[in-house]
Structure 1
Amino acid sequence: MTAKRPQPRPGVLDIAPYVPGKSTAPGVAKVFKLSSNESPLGPSPRAVDAYKTVGLHLEDYPDGSATDLRDAIARAYGLDPSRIICGAGSDDLINLIARGYLQDGDEAVYSRHGFLMYPIAITGCGAKPVVAEEKDLTADVDSILSKVTPKTKIVFLANPNNPTGTYLPFNEVKRLHAGLPPDVLLVLDAAYAEYVRRNDYEAGIELVATSENVLMLRTFSKIHGLAALRLGWFYAPAHICDALNRIRGPFNVSAPASAAGIAAIGDSGHIERSIAFNGEWLAWVTKELAKLGLKVTPSVANFILIHFPDTPGKGAAEADEFLTKRGLVMRRVKAYHLPNALRMSIGTEEANRLVVAALKEFLGKAA
């Protein structure tokens, strides 16, 4: 007879755990980690100095409301700080939103190749994740709206999307919002917004400012290079902030992370250098891989999705093994329903050139 023991809530053991991009290449002296969309330029030196300074006083609790950080974000974007909530990265905030607005039997919609944390957070709250199909690896407004039912409480939209790098223009986001019932929360996850250089893109600030059911997520992990500190924030209507502050952990942002975030968001020069570097090398890598005959999904973020041929021995799995042996670590995206593709972060100049040279060798292209 099996002994009784505590059991998790129904559905928890059905969740496939989130697996981060790998970071090692056994037996290789120098590894280029291109699997997690990290900044090749790293954080602002000001952020590092601020982090070190606070590190001298680790005995003190942080400000439970992250007041100074919210004020810094508000100054940078012209926002009301009372409508900003900060957290330990976007993952923390996605789970906070799900906990606050989903219960058993509810539904939440996300797109086919959307961020894997969405279904994890949805299922963990006893709700049902509902997948909307995409068109050309891009979220499709009509498909999303067709999945909305009276049980729908949240729609998650990553814009730009990870791992595809595609985006919806602002007029399509507004069309999506207009088609949703007023009691459905639209979550715009704009983790890669700073990299987008398109005139028809807007991260979501305007829509949040004029709506009662839109929330915009942002992160310090990408453009600001602070992934190790786990720092994110969202901008939302006052009533949503009031509700979620009631269940938010009181010290969910550490003092070193807050100090580094304040310094990072104030270093506009470092931000602009990071944007310019990404723009230059995103275009270069895309062009060079196309010369090799590889299909690359057009990306507006700091990564690209590379599609491999169906030729035996030349697929994504074989390419990943070939690259890893050379210290070039990329991201398999099978879990995103993209079994024959790899996601590559835009890395340093050295890393980018090595990837192109290695893939030329892998494909057997003449020099």
Structure 2
Amino acid sequence: MTAPVPKPWIMDIAPYIPGRSTTDDGRKVTKLSSNENPHGTSPAARVAFESASHNLERYPDASAADLRETLAAKYGLDPMRIIYGNGSDEVLHLAAGAFAGPGDEVIYVKYGFAVYDIAARRVGATPVIAPDNDYATDVDAILAAVTPKTKIVYIANPNNPTGTYSSRAEIARLHAGLRSDILLVLDHAYAEYIEGDEDAEDGGMELAETAGNVLVTRTFSKMYGLAAERIGWGYASNAIIEAMHRIRLPFSITIAGTAAALAALADTDFVAHCREQNAEWRRWFTAEIGKLGNAGLRAVPSQANFVLVLFEGKLTAETAYKGLMEAGYIVRWLPGQGLPHGLRITVGTAEETQGVAAALRALVEQAG
């Protein structure tokens, strides 16, 4: 019996593997593998979600007008230049679908978000991986990788899974070095976690406002605690957004999810609390890993809601991964992303963060 044959580039895709929720023996333990908000979501968002859930028979507004207008008012943007999607993942895929294809090249950094590779291969484009600079984005390496075939450059800032961050000056330098026909996609999934004043942000939104080749993506899955509802959005020039709209799913976000997102945006106290807690416990956890430096553990400096811990001594990342699971903590081991020696650990509550740090110390002592 014959069967349809997939395009060859589809079979080259390594499927995305999400963070696990249970242990090998099926136990539900503390989940620090998916960078979810340990404080949940805004109570106001939960109320709004429950209220809107009575409209199950209705299609959502295909234009997402309320969401776009609220986002535009909050960030000082043009609502007509905002696109929404099923999480920022869909928006990232839309960029590749609209601007790349067979014969084109798509650049992303080593240790970059796995979706970039999938998005490129899905449309038949060739992924090009730029070397890192000690796990951080190397602007010069990206620019050196550009060829006449380059159509898109994906940058997560802060980066996932390393947590590293490129400054406003570095992002401006990268953009200035790219041809105007290359789309620069700045993935801001973790932007709400950046420490510092307003100037600490990388200037991506300002670039998207004035440049014709910049797309910024954001999500409600992380800081706003709405991962279950899959709401993401992007901002770019009219020409970019118009092209992406042509291939966008018409009803990719729900009525209840949109209501929750609108309420979450308004609850600034909840966001401020989560940001402060994350910063406090990220610093604490990073310092605790620093105390284990003699045993070969190293924390990559992070501006996100997770820390990448490298294992360069007797205790391996694989052994630590299994040991932490046994101790009641699931973290993210990423050998498939070239990090067999690293664990990405979400910053949890105070109790969770202290607990996983204690479990790591115990594993280091056992390893001698």
TM over 0.5: yes
1:278-333 CA-partner distances (Å, limit 9, x unpaired)? 0110011111121122210010110000011342xx10000000000121000002
Quick check: 1:38–1:345 contact (8 Å CA) kept in 2?
A: yes
1:145-174 CA-partner distances (Å, limit 9, x unpaired)? 111111111000111100111011011111
The whole-number CA distance in structure 2 between the counterparts of 1:333 and 1:89 is 22
The whole-number CA distance in structure 1 between the counterparts of 2:312 and 2:93 is 37
1:224-271 CA-partner distances (Å, limit 9, x unpaired)? 000111110001101111111111111111111111111111111111
Quick check: 1:35–1:330 contact (8 Å CA) kept in 2?
A: yes
Quick check: 1:43–1:225 contact (8 Å CA) kept in 2?
A: yes
Confirm whether residue 297 of structure 1 aligns to residue 295 of structure 2.
Answer: no
The whole-number CA distance in structure 2 between the counterparts of 1:28 and 1:328 is 13
Q: 1:240 to 1:341 in 2, by over 3 A?
A: same
Name 2:325's counterpart in structure 1.
324
Name 2:238's counterpart in structure 1.
238
> Of the candidates 28, 31, 34, which is equivalent to residue 33 of structure 1?
31
Paired residue type of 2:275: I
The whole-number CA distance in structure 2 between the counterparts of 1:204 and 1:134 is 21
The whole-number CA distance in structure 1 between the counterparts of 2:24 and 2:154 is 37
The whole-number CA distance in structure 1 between the counterparts of 2:217 and 2:203 is 9
Q: 1:321 to 1:203 in 2, by over 3 A?
A: farther
Counting only pairs closer than 5 Å after superposition, residues 150-299 of structure 1 correspond to structure 2 as 150-198=148-196, 199-293=199-293, 294-299=297-302
Quick check: 2:231–2:253 contact (8 Å CA) kept in 1?
A: yes
> Of the candidates 25, 45, 63, which is equivalent to residue 47 of structure 1?
45
Quick check: 1:157–1:187 contact (8 Å CA) kept in 2?
A: yes
Quick check: 1:159–1:203 contact (8 Å CA) kept in 2?
A: no
Task: List, as ranges, runs of 4+ consecutive aligned residues in structure 1 with deviation greater than 6 Å.
Answer: none
Q: 1:33 to 1:69 in 2, by over 3 A?
A: same
The whole-number CA distance in structure 2 between the counterparts of 1:322 and 1:358 is 8
Aligned to 2:53, the other structure's residue is in SS state: helix
Quick check: 1:191–1:218 contact (8 Å CA) kept in 2?
A: yes
Aligned to 2:327, the other structure's residue is in SS state: coil
Paired residue type of 2:102: D
Q: 1:259 to 1:200 in 2, by over 3 A?
A: closer
The whole-number CA distance in structure 2 between the counterparts of 1:241 and 1:14 is 29
The whole-number CA distance in structure 2 between the counterparts of 1:364 and 1:204 is 44
Name 2:64's counterpart in structure 1.
66
Quick check: 1:102–1:122 contact (8 Å CA) kept in 2?
A: yes
Confirm whether residue 339 of structure 1 aligns to residue 340 of structure 2.
Answer: yes
The whole-number CA distance in structure 2 between the counterparts of 1:131 and 1:27 is 36
Aligned to 1:56, the other structure's residue is in SS state: coil
The whole-number CA distance in structure 1 between the counterparts of 2:280 and 2:67 is 31
State percent identity of aligned pairs.
Answer: 48
Quick check: 1:132–1:144 contact (8 Å CA) kept in 2?
A: yes
1:8-31 CA-partner distances (Å, limit 9, x unpaired)? 112111111000011112558661
Aligned to 2:54, the other structure's residue is in SS state: helix
Aligned to 1:191, the other structure's residue is in SS state: coil
The whole-number CA distance in structure 2 between the counterparts of 1:72 and 1:319 is 44
The whole-number CA distance in structure 2 between the counterparts of 1:272 and 1:24 is 30
The whole-number CA distance in structure 1 between the counterparts of 2:233 and 2:336 is 26
TM superposition score normalised by structure 2: 0.96
Structure 2: 5+ residue runs without aligned partners?
Answer: none
The whole-number CA distance in structure 1 between the counterparts of 2:97 and 2:288 is 44
Counting only pairs closer than 5 Å after superposition, residues 348-367 of structure 1 correspond to structure 2 as 348-364=349-365
Confirm whether residue 14 of structure 1 aligns to residue 15 of structure 2.
Answer: no
TM superposition score normalised by structure 1: 0.96
Question: How many residue pairs were aligned?
Answer: 362
Aligned to 2:170, the other structure's residue is in SS state: helix
Aligned to 1:61, the other structure's residue is in SS state: coil
